[in-house]
Amino acid sequence: MGKKIVFACLAFLVYGVASAQNDSIKKAPEGLKEDWTFRGYLVYPIQFGDHSLADAHSANPGLGLTLGAFSYRNFSLFAGCEFLQYKVTDYTKIGNIDRTNYSAFFGTIVYKLAVSKKIELYPDLGLGYVVLKQRSDGRKFGHQDGTEVRLGFTANYRVSKKTSFFIGAHYIYNTFEIATNEAYRDYFGKANQLQVSAGIQLD
């Protein structure tokens, strides 16, 4: 994990936990309210389709952090980041590279649906920025900038007024900038994945 990503995620974590401790929620006249929610979770990507991440890499579990700051009725706005690492399994397609680091920074609109006193569902839709970095033995072999569209949900089980555990699933579609032959543009420039996650939420 790169030092910049570690620092950014740790800063995100400290800020989120500190904000989540504030019990006073200020309501705006328009119905918006300050509503801090922090999530920390493990995430595992399942790549599928005909593209380089699915065809020539194997995934490892990664780390995700999200922070919600404002809500309107049952809708909330979250910002988040995720870091995952893929091991190259087919050097004939990728080159002499050991791993590819996947970093995502995104925003999501989340809807809260209370099923019972203990169980809540949070469907969400988001858009983000992604960067792929190829590395081997400490050496860098370039990077690809891209975007992601995410759609999914989490299911929460509340254990106290301010704490819940959750599991989630998201479909994520990526497009990446790539300068290559037209025949390989989709292979290196697009990706599809299903992410499964599990973590803790602090309100």
SS3 state of residue 98: coil
15 pLDDT above the threshold of 70: no
Of the chain, the end-to-end C-alpha distance in Å amounts to 28
| Nearest C-alpha neighbor of 108 from the set 73, 80, 131, 84 | 80
**Alpha helix locations (H) across the chain?**
3-20, 52-55, 91-94, 185-189
54 phi and psi, to 5 degrees? -80, -35
Write down the domain spans for the chain: 3-202
Q: How buried is 29 (Cβ within 10 angstroms: 0-12 exposed, 13-18 middle, 19+ buried)?
A: exposed
Q: Closest Cα to residue 170, out of 148, 190, 197, 189?
A: 197
Please state, rounded to an integer, the average pLDDT across all residues of the chain. 83
What does the block give as tokens for 150? Answer: 């995410």
* Exposed e or buried b per residue across 101-129, where buried means at least 16 C-beta atoms within 10 angstroms of its C-beta: bbbbbbebebebeeeeeeebebebebebe
| pLDDT, tens only, 124-166 | 999 999 999 888 776 666 778 999 999 999 999 999 999 999 9
CA atoms within 13 Å, Cβ hemisphere of 189: 10
pTM of the model: 0.79
pLDDT tens for 34-43 read 889 999 999 9
Write down the architecture of domain 3-202 according to CATH: Beta Barrel (2.40)
Q: What is the pLDDT of residue 184?
A: 67
